[in-house]
Amino acid sequence: MPEETVSDGQGSRLRAASVWGLAAAVYVFTVVMMGTTLPTPLYPLYEERFGFGTAFTTQLFAIYAVGVIGALVVFGRLSDGLGRRPVLSLGVVFSIASAVLFLIGSHIGLLLAGRVLSGLAAGIFTSTATVTVLENAPAGRERLAGSLATAANMGGLGLGILSSGLLARFAPAPLLTPFLVNAIMLVIAGVALILVRDRTRGGASDVRLQLPGIPASAKRMFLAASPGAITGFAVCGLYSAIAPSFIGQTLHVRSTAVTGVVVFLLFGASATAQVLLRGLSDRRLIIGGTVTMIVSMGALVCALMAGSLPVLIVSAVLAGAGQGLVFMTGMRAITAVTAPERRTEATTSYFILAYVFMSVPAIGAGFLAAEVGLANATVVFAVAVASVCVAGLAGARRFAGL
């Protein structure tokens, strides 16, 4: 009996440690991703302060994607050799440094440097934090951990926008307070990493670049999933980089809180749709998500023509839900046809494709807006996204059957 008691006691302690490790991993993941989207509702304020326009705003946004891609390549496999905690700690340090640069915020160069550091942090967490959350799941709760990782990633992006917009609207020093609050949360996250279990058993020989590549077994599926990655992240880029200016210039709504809520709904809808609908077949999700994005682009054009904030909100929710479904389904379909030892290579390629098309169309829309106006540029963008979505439906037959 004493031995059973000890065993039960040890089991309870292990389960408690697992729960705390999972909670800590999710918290750290969420807070770092929040930091990457804090500037979004503040872009109009920065435009007023520094005198730049929408075209530069999209470049400021896009340089973040450059940091993400660089981190995916340089740091993508680093945790296999050095361990999860050290690499995640580096991501937290990058995120804190980004917040500090925005807190200083006295020059455009500081903002650009801050966005690069924020991108590096996001790239590190994209490649490492998801697997860390999964590795910290208690026995039998792996599906829950997968849902929590999704919620921490996309939900964190949305919460960063929401918190920044609300703090800028209702707290003093709108260009300082959001970053100060996030910096405090990041310091707490650094301490919370102590609770995260690190199961890596690699060594220095495992440290290498994670070069992108598409295994032969996954090429057909990668091609079929690419339109979803392209359109889904292009839409995220548009709403993140241009929506604040659009809401202010076209709808004449100057509140950062409104901007924060609108863009938050996109990322929140993405996370919610992934969690609630993940049990459906891949083909249903691809078709449903793609059609939803096409409808969202129609709603966006209607919002432009009517100057309607409620219709814009509907378009953001639909776009987020569609983006979440097609990207999640594409990712899991690619990994399903890829050997385990090649999955990191394949998923890195998928994320690089996504982040390239998060930045390039947003930059193009920003420059086009300078020539034909923000509303017309957004209409062109919406039509282009809908067209790629229609082309993507042709590849739906390659996914699992209904």
92-125 tens-digit pLDDT? 999 999 999 999 988 889 999 999 999 999 999 9
Give the whole-angstrom CA distance, residue 395 versus residue 33.
Answer: 31
Do 167 and 240 lie in a common domain? no
Number of domains in the chain: 2
Does 10 or 140 have the greater pLDDT score?
Answer: 140
Task: Annotate 369-396 with b (16+ C-beta within 10 A) or e (fewer).
Answer: beeeebbebbbebbebbbebbeebeebb
Do 225 and 321 lie in a common domain? yes
Do 255 and 167 lie in a common domain? no
Q: Is residue 201 part of a domain?
A: no
Q: Is the pLDDT of residue 173 over 70?
A: yes
* pLDDT confidence of residue 17: 56
Q: What is the pLDDT of residues 68-78, one digit of tens each?
A: 988 888 887 77
Give this prediction's pTM: 0.83
Do 267 and 375 lie in a common domain? yes
Q: Is residue 209 part of a domain?
A: no
- Nearest Cα residue to 197 out of 23, 81, 33, 8: 23
Residues in Cβ contact with 219 at an 8 Å cutoff, skipping those fewer than 6 apart: none
Does 318 or 330 have the greater pLDDT score?
Answer: 318
Do 60 and 105 lie in a common domain? yes
Do 104 and 78 lie in a common domain? yes
CB–CB of 29/149 below 8 Å? yes
Per the structure, the complete domain to which residue 288 belongs is given by: 214-402
* pLDDT confidence of residue 3: 47
Do 242 and 316 lie in a common domain? yes
Do 134 and 226 lie in a common domain? no
Q: State the average pLDDT over residues 234-252.
A: 81
Q: Using pLDDT thresholds of 50, 70 and 90, give the confidence band for residue 321.
A: very high
Q: Is residue 83 part of a domain?
A: yes
Do 177 and 251 lie in a common domain? no
Which CATH number characterizes residue 288's domain? Answer: 1.20.1250.20
Do 161 and 243 lie in a common domain? no
Q: Is residue 5 part of a domain?
A: no
Q: State the average pLDDT over residues 219-246.
A: 85
